[in-house]
Amino acid sequence: MNYHFSAYMYRLRSIKRWSLMRSTAAENVAEHSFHVALLTHLLCEIGNSLYGRTLDSGRGATLALFHDATEVFTGDIPTPVKHHNPRLLSSFREMEAIAAERLLSMVPPELQNAYGPLLSPGSHSNMRDEDKRLLQYVKAADSLDAYLKCAWELTSGNREFAVAKNQLLEKLKCLNLPEVDYFLQHLAQSFEMTLDELSEQGASHSAPPHIDE
């Protein structure tokens, strides 16, 4: 018997994001999922190294990889649409649950215990406390990736994302996560630089110190 789970997951590259916005560069859900996994891993490691956390960054990255998996069926519904009123949001959550069930049915039975918590973590009453904690970082990384997209678009001269960037920045600050604050202070500004500026600063950072004879 053939199981179509992996084939559908690969189709996330065909689901476009930011459908209501005029973008200088298209973005799909597959690349967004990779970025969120990367950011989740980084936020966890920042927490472990700087703030005394004991976060499983590998598990966090895995949860992030699947956080938008159901969009292969639902598509990417813009935030202003699904949060327009509680009824719309409730309907969307129901759609997500149905899509997660459909995806899980395409996973070989021997693997469903592993993938069920990844495809619909919120529906599992016995979800591990560690996963609940990690999902907070996935949510932060999701918003952070959207913020970085806005910053990149603005750097490219696209004012379409100006309001969204400010809104996302306020949302990130309200999370009260020192890991996010650290990223914004030390890593986010690089996304607003040109390749030449990145290369120039990278060369200066790697240059050996000058020693007077």
Around Cβ 88, how many Cβ atoms within 10 Å?
13
Domain boundaries, the chain: 5-194
- Report which of 164, 147, 150 is spatially closest to residue 24, judged by C-alpha positions: 150
Percentage, residues of the chain above pLDDT 90: 72
Mean pLDDT of 138-155: 96
CATH number of 5-194: 1.10.3210.10
- Which amino acid would we find at residue 84? H
CA atoms within 13 A on the CB side of 102: 14
- pTM for the whole structure: 0.89
Using 50, 70 and 90 to split pLDDT, how confident is the model at 120?
Answer: confident
Closest CA to 10 of 26, 27, 31: 31
Which residues are 28's β-sheet partners?
Answer: 16
Residue 127: enclosing H or E segment and its boundaries?
none
Q: Which residue has the tokens 């990255």?
A: 61
